[in-house]
Amino acid sequence: MSNTYFPDMEIIPSDLLEKVLSTMDSYQYDSYTQTDVRKALQNERCTIENLGALLSPAAAPYLEEMADKAKRATSRHFGNTVYLFTPLYLSNYCGNNCVYCGFNCRSQIARKKLTMEEIEHEMKIIAASGIEEVLLLTGESNVKSPLTYIGEAVTLGKKYFRNIGLEIYPVNTQEYHYLHECGADYVTVFQETYDTATYQILHCEGRKTCFPYRFHAQERAILGGMRGVGLSALFGLSDFRKEALASALHVYYLQRKYPAAEYSLSCPRIRPANNGQAYDLYPINEKELCQILCAYRIFLPFVGITVSTRENIAFRNGIVKIAATKVSAGVSTGIGDHGSKQRNETVNTGRKESDSYNKSEHRIENTEELQERTGDEQFEIADERSLPRMYQDMVSEGLQPVLNDYLYV
Ligand code: SF4
């Protein structure tokens, strides 16, 4: 593992990295038996040992029982709600070289960084669809997308959305504090892989080479005042059972250290990048993904679980009834794409909109001038449903779609 911090990177005192990696390294999933799995399913409280059993190959024949238990936990803690949000890509400039990603600094792709005017235009389009939570993403370049740029975008976002999440390059505590002051609510940082040897091979240039700085991003975000944090491995880069164990433990130990924060886990599987690169080194099928998500829910009953448009419609419709609590809708992974893909659909929630977030306020100007050129997409998506379509589908599945669950007083 590269432990080399860049001079400006903050080092915080924490024993989480050691705890997660040592448990993951000693995890022998082939040693678990069906008796261990049955015991894990019978236990009221799922221990780390039980989690190991539920993620093991021995649990495969028990997927139905796992799904039943996960479903009961989800409905006990979240009812039948499912949260909807939309990601907005601000820039695809990146200073890192992750060999599996189409945005990496060596990729010959069309680069674009939205101006504030373009960002506002995109936000108006997204807000007009009815969405109240947006996730702002950038490639990881603190030169092309400096903190002030992201802060300005967040401030702008507060005019249109109630909740703002960030998926940007990891920063120091004080910088998270600044972004929180601008209006950001939560931060997601994907570790990509907890396998330190693989991490070093796949992340060969840029600030991302420093494994521990990335690992401690969630702690710094919480210390900087963020309400919530999210994380995950990117499944496909290394042994998925170990990656899932490490991701769950990362949240577990954070939760014990900072019980007041909100946590969420994702489950991204690697998708083909738009530059033709395919790095699905350790393929994981849908059944195995379902096993992971059920194990997450049983082990961490209060934690949000997000399923992105990397997964197809059938999988997403099914998993929200078992373990997932949050899905994206109206997704476009290109830069400045919402304008060009403008759908002119608005969700009908059947309720009165609040005054300050009235959709009709968000007048959308002619897009042509603002959308001269869009930047390339990061990866292909498998579910292209718009927000209204997703909203309706969730209702049809017997779920209650939620656009916002947080009120500022
Ligand atoms: S995964 Fe993120 S950090 Fe890595 S190249 Fe892609 S955009 Fe950059």
Contact 338, 125 (CB under 8 A): yes
Distance between Cα 278 and ligand 1 center (Å): 14
Banded pLDDT at 308 (limits 50, 70, 90): confident
More confident residue, 130 or 355: 130
Mean pLDDT across 10-33: 98
For residue 3, the model assigns a pLDDT of: 80
Does this model's pTM top 0.85? My answer is yes
**What is the Å distance from ligand 1's center to 308 Cα?**
17
Q: Mean pLDDT for the chain?
A: 89
Count CB-CB contacts under 10 A for residue 97: 17
Ligand 1: atom nearest CA of 95 is 8
Q: How remote is the CA of residue 86 from the centroid of ligand 1, in Å?
A: 19
Q: Which residues line ligand 1 (CB under 6 A)?
A: 94, 96, 98, 101, 103-104, 139-140, 208
Q: What is the pLDDT of residue 368?
A: 45
Position 348: which residue type?
N
Band the pLDDT of 338: cuts 50, 70, 90. Answer: confident
Helix ranges, 204-306 (H): 211-215, 217-223, 240-257, 286-299
State pLDDT tens for residues 92-123. 999 999 999 888 999 988 899 999 999 999 99
For a pocket test of ligand 1, which of 91, 100, 103, 266 has the largest count of ligand atoms closer than 8 A to its C-beta? 103
**Residue 301 burial by Cβ neighbours in a 10 Å radius (0-12, 13-18, 19+):** middle
At 162-178, the pLDDT tens digits run 999 999 999 999 999 99
**Residue 110 and residue 368: Cα distance in Å, rounded?**
19
- Is the predicted pLDDT of residue 404 greater than 90, yes or no? no
Q: Is 267:315 a contact under the CB 8 Å cutoff?
A: no
Q: How confident is the model at residue 367 (pLDDT cuts 50, 70, 90)?
A: very low
Q: Out of 90, 104, 112, give the residue to mutate to test ligand 1, the one with the largest number of ligand atoms within 8 Å of its CB.
A: 104
CA distance 198 to 243: 12
Q: Atom 4 (ligand 1): residue with closest C-alpha? A: 98
pLDDT band at 377 (very low <50, low <70, confident <90, very high): low
Q: Chain-centre distance of CA 15, in angstroms? A: 24
